[in-house]
Amino acid sequence: MSEPLPYPQLLNEPVREFSEIDATLTYSYANYLNWLFEDRVELIKGKIFKMSPAASRVHQEISRNIFIKIGNFLKGQHCKVYSAPFDVRFPKESKADKDVFTVLQPDICVICDKSKLDYRGCIGAPDIVIEILSPGNNRKELLNKYQVYEEFGVREYWVVSQSDQSILIYTLNDSGKFQPSKIFTLSETITSSVLPGFELLLDDVFDDLD
C-alpha cells in the first residue's frame, strides 16, 4: 500500500499554531519544514506525534552523562554523536522532502556514515539510537519508535529507564530483527558492537541525580 499524500493546503504555507494542524491527516517532511509553532513534534509514517514537554532535569543529566562518555570516546574517530533536538529523516525510497513521512528526534544518536549528514540533520538510519524514557512517552518509545528503528536498520537501539536506572540494548541481527540484551543495572558495564572498545559504566550514567 502506497503512502498517503501529504495535506496539500499546508505544503507551501507556514503554520504558526499547533492548533491549526489536523492530527487525522498525513504529513510529509515538506509540511514539517513549514511548521513555525513552538511545540516539538515528530512524524511517524505521516502521523504527527506531539513530543513531551521540555525534558526534566534528571532526563537532561542522564542524556549529558551518556553523551559526554560517547563523545569523548569518538574524539578523532569517524563516527559522530548528536543529541536532541536533531532531526533524523527516514526515507522509504525517494529522499525528496515531500516523500519522507517519518522524522524523529532521538535523545542521542551515533552516525558513522557521514554521507547521511546534511545541514538539516541526518537522512537515513543512525548506527545507534538512544532514547531515555520519561513519564508519558514510554509507549511511543517502546512501540512506535521501536518499529521504525528496526524497519530502517538501526544497528543498536538503547532504551534507558530513569525509574529503574537500567539500560536495555536491542541489536539488529542478520535477519533485520532486533534482539534484546539482558537488562543492565547499576554497577554493571555495557559495551557496543557498533563501537568496539567502548565501555559505559551504569553508575556513571545515573550518578548524582538527586
| Close Cβ partners of 115 (under 8 Å, ≥ 6 residues apart) | none
Amino acid at 77: Q
**179 and 112 in one domain?**
yes
**Cβ proximity of 127 and 153 under 8 Å:** no
Query: How far, CA to CA in Å, does 54 sit from each of 44, 58, 68, 146, 162?
Result: 20, 11, 20, 22, 16
- pLDDT, tens digit, for every residue of 150-199? 999 999 999 999 989 999 999 999 999 999 999 999 999 999 999 999 99
Please answer whether residues 166 and 132 qualify as being in contact, where contact means their C-beta atoms are separated by less than 8 angstroms: no
In a domain, 36, yes or no: yes
Residue 132 falls within a domain, yes or no?
Answer: yes
Residues 75-94 have pLDDT tens digits of 999 999 999 999 999 999 89
Give yes or no: residues 33 and 124 share one domain: no
The reported pTM is 0.90
H helical segments located in 115-190:
138-139, 146-152
On average, the pLDDT of the chain sits at 89
Within a domain: 73: yes
Establish if 3 belongs to a structural domain: no
Structural domain of residue 26, as residue ranges? 8-50
The reply to whether 2 falls in a domain is no
The count of structural domains within the chain is 2
> Which CA distances in Å does 150 have to 49, 115, 145, 153, 164?
19, 21, 8, 5, 24
Q: 64 lies in a domain?
A: yes
CATH number of the domain enclosing 117: 3.90.1570.10
